[in-house]
Amino acid sequence: MSADNLSQLKQDAEAAIAGASDLAALDDVRVAYLGKSGSISAQMKKVGGLPPEERKTFGAEVNALRNAVTEVLEARKLLLEKEALAQKLASEALDMSLPARPEVQGSIHPISHVIEEIEVIFAEMGFMAVAGPDVESDWNNFEALNFPANHPAREMQDTFFMEAADDEGKPYVLRTHTSSVQIRHMTEHGAPSRIICHGRTYRCDSDQTHSPMFHQVEGLVIEKRVHMGHLKWTLQSFLNRFFEQDDIPIRFRPSFFPFVEPGAEVDIGCTKGQGTLKIGAGDDWLEILGCGMVHPNVLKSCGIDPKEYQGFAFGIGIERLAMLKYGVSDLRTFFEGDVRWLEHYGFAPLGEAA
Ligand code: DAH
């Protein structure tokens, strides 16, 4: 084929490309010219059979032709893709100004609602909300929190292990608590620090009062001079606000968590009646959270000097708080996705109770 014919072929190809009105038609054109048995490919195949002096010039011309046509084709493809997207967006456009249909309006899950309430209260106290991943390394979930390998406290946590392991061969875990986020935050940002973090946590445990997936909020404060008094004030203020009472009775009971020293569990005063529970009065106590002064080993693991900084931390079960505040009696109902339950316990998206 002569150069003239090649330029004719180019013109034809370009016209066909310009005439392709959608992506499918354009692909047909591509196949017809550049596909395995396409007409430009046919010219390419001829190159090998030509005498050497012709091979060089003809080869270069066919190559240039192929490149030029490919370029025009790609440009057209981009254009058609853009058009197709614009068309799709136009056809899927939603009129956001239409009023909601009450019969299909969803509600906010009590867990989400409580998380928001907690975040607002702590934000007013100067806490920043941070997040961490559900799949954690052994280091972040255990080791750096002062749970040495084989320490019996690990067993309290009924861990779900992943198949994948880290560089040291230790399997990743589904985090058993949000305390792992303390490690991430201190390692990355050092001290001082004042954060809360909420999220899903997992333990291999399931009955009326335990769900294999549940939610926690973790709080952490690291300062140069901070003590149990600050911790107590912070929790008391939070609980008063959360339960909307002036002075919720609370008591601190010594308890053990490897990552704090001293460690405590906090109970709130309540009255337990027949199938009822009243928060804030009476002579019964209900455990609601764990807390303590951050263990020096934990600070060291995160590169913070325990002689310079101290801190306190606390971990609260969100389901427990939601059950107490909104009178949900069975933990499992949170996760059943029953629409009637959600209609009853859910919150209207615009603020008032549903
Ligand atoms: N991580 C503990 C748990 O899940 C809860 C906890 C206890 C968190 C004491 C803390 C703390 O930050 O200081 O059981």
Peptide bond into 262 cis (omega under 30): yes
Residue identifier of the C-alpha nearest atom 12 of ligand 1:
314
Do residue 58 and residue 188 come from a single domain?
no
Same domain, yes or no: 338 and 289? yes
Domain contains 125: yes
Question: Is 266:288 a contact under the CB 8 Å cutoff?
Answer: yes
Distances in Å between the Cα of 168 and the Cα atoms of 163, 165, 184, 212, 298 are 14, 8, 18, 27, 20
| Cβ atoms of residues 239 and 248 within 8 Å | yes
- Please indicate, yes or no, whether residues 220 and 177 belong to a single structural domain of this protein: yes
Domain boundary residue, one of 91, 124, 149: 91
Pocket residue to mutate for ligand 1, from 200, 202, 259, most atoms within 8 A of Cβ: 259
* Domain end point (choices 91, 126, 148): 91
Residues with Cβ within 8 Å of 238's Cβ and at least 6 positions away in sequence, in order, are 118, 121, 122, 125
pLDDT mean by block of 10 residues, the chain; 354 residues? 80 95 95 94 91 90 95 96 94 87 82 96 97 97 93 81 93 96 98 97 87 96 96 97 94 96 95 78 89 98 98 96 88 91 88 50
Query: Are 212 and 330 in the same domain?
Result: yes
Closest atom of ligand 1 to 264 CA is 9
Q: CB burial class (10 A; 0-12, 13-18, 19+) of residue 337?
A: exposed
Question: 28: closest CA among 46, 10, 13?
Answer: 13
The CB density around residue 27, as the number of other CB atoms within 10 Å, is 14
**Same domain as 186, residue 151:** yes
265 three-state secondary structure: strand
179 within ligand 1 shell (Cβ under 6 A): yes
Q: Is residue 24 part of a domain?
A: yes
Instruction: Say what the pLDDT of residue 98 is.
Output: 85
In a domain, 36, yes or no: yes
Chain-centre distance of CA 267, in angstroms?
31
The whole domain housing 160 covers 110-345
CA–CA separation, 101 and 111 (whole Å): 24
Residues 52 and 164 in one domain: no
Please give the pLDDT value at position 22: 94
Nearest to 292 by CA among 314, 268, 307: 314
List of residues 6+ apart from 166 with CB closer than 8 A: 137, 138, 139, 172
Phi, psi of 302 (to 5 degrees): -100, 10
Task: Indicate if 79 and 185 belong to the same structural domain.
Answer: no
Do the domain assignments include residue 303? yes
Would 116 be classed as within a structural domain?
yes
Q: Which of 183, 314, 319 to mutate to test the pocket of ligand 1 (most atoms within 8 A of CB)?
A: 314
Same domain, 84 and 187: no
- 292 close to ligand 1 (CB < 6 Angstrom): yes
Classify the C-alpha dihedral 230-236-241-242 as positive or negative. Answer: positive
Take atom 3 of ligand 1 and give the residue whose Cα is closest. Answer: 177
What is the rounded CA–CA span in Å between residue 74 and residue 20? 12
Cβ partners under 8 Å of residue 251, min gap 6: 266, 267, 269, 285
Domain-terminating residue out of 91, 119, 153: 91
Residue 105 lies in a domain: no
Q: Which of 216, 224, 228, 195 is nearest to 122 (CA)?
A: 195
Is 100 inside a domain boundary? no
* Residue 17 within any structural domain of the chain: yes
| Claim to verify: residue 219 and residue 130 sit in the same structural domain | yes
In this structure, are 67 and 128 located in the same domain?
no
DSSP assignment, residue 228?
Answer: H
Atom 7 of ligand 1 has which residue's CA nearest to it? 290
Spatial separation of the C-alpha atoms in residues 44 and 247, rounded to whole Å: 87
Same domain, 275 and 246: yes
- Please indicate, yes or no, whether residues 278 and 230 belong to a single structural domain of this protein: yes
Quote the number of domains for the chain.
Answer: 2
CATH code of the domain covering residue 152? 3.30.930.10
State which ligand 1 atom lies nearest to the alpha carbon of 315.
Answer: 8
CB 178 less than 6 A from any atom of ligand 1: no
- End-to-end, the C-alpha distance of the chain in Å comes to 78
